[in-house]
Structure formats: C-alpha cells, structure tokens
Amino acid sequence: MTVPTQLNPKDVADLLAQGRAVLFDVRDPDEFARRHVKGARLRPLASLGAAPLDIPPGAMPIFTCRSGMRTAANCAQLAAASGGEAIVLAGGVDGWAAAGLPLVEDRKAPLEMMRQVQIAAGGLVLIGVGLGLLVHPGFFGLAAFVGAGLTFAGATGFCGMARLLALAPWNRPARS
C-alpha cells in the first residue's frame, strides 16, 4: 500500500505562494463549489487519470479533499497521476480552514448531493419508523423501502434518490 506524504496547511500555503506547488482538489464539483481552498484546481478523482496534470516546471502537485480521508484512501491513484509520490494536504480543506487560511465559500451553493441523499434517506427512515410505531405497522415498509434503495445504490453505483434530488429546484442552475 502506498502511503502519502502529508504536508501541514502552513507549509502548503508557503509552497503555493512561492509557486512551487499546485493544489488539486479531488472532490466532486458540487463539493468544490460550496467550499474550497483559494487557488485550488478542481480535478475529481474520477477524471484524475484522463489527462496529465497541468503543472508548471519545478512545481509539485499536492492533493486535497475535505478531510484527508479520500486522498489517503486513493493514494496509489494520486501517486500515479503525479508521476511520483502522492503529496497531500494534511487534514484536507477542513485542516486548511482550522489553520485560518483563505477559503472560497459559497453558502448559496446546494449541499453536496451525497449529504442531501443522507438527509433525505435518514428523514424517510425516521418518518417510517415513527409512523410505524404511532399510526400503523405498515409504515415500517417505508423504512424498509429506503433501506433496500440504499443497499441497491451501494451494490450497483446507481442512486435513484440522488437522481430525484438532482431535479429539485435548488439543484438546478439559476436561469439568467
């Protein structure tokens, strides 16, 4: 297993300021839109191997995600994309924020799709269980239906709830 080299946020900020590094955010676009390190480039994990990283000569690629868990779990893929070792921002965007370094935040951007799915699924399960206990046991079927849907999504990679939520008005681009 490949182990990433972790750099603390202050050291990464110094390298970026000196032009000796480029920070790549490996999260999905919806996560990046809501909050990211100022100056970071979006390069989702799914597209990481599609094209070489655009890095100036003499600069090193550094990767980040929200907490550092995703970069650690995909270290081999990051090392392959960088053509050497995987260098990651310790603590991810959360660590950067905790260090008081500049972020780009858009609180009006929708919550990340997976968070929306978690909120909706959890709410439906709670409603199903609550109504099953208080009104009629048939409502337990709602909780079972949501559980089956989540199991199917995990097994196949297709999440019907995410598809439905993507159609919600808050997830559509604003018309100009």
Asked if residue 87 lies in contact with residue 48, where contact means CB atoms within 8 angstroms, the answer is no
Q: Is 28 left (phi over 0), alpha (psi -120 to 50) or beta?
A: beta
Please report, as a single letter, which amino acid is at residue 29: P
Closest CA to 109 of 23, 36, 26, 25: 36
Which residues are known catalytic residues? 65
Residue carrying the six token digits 């809501």: 34
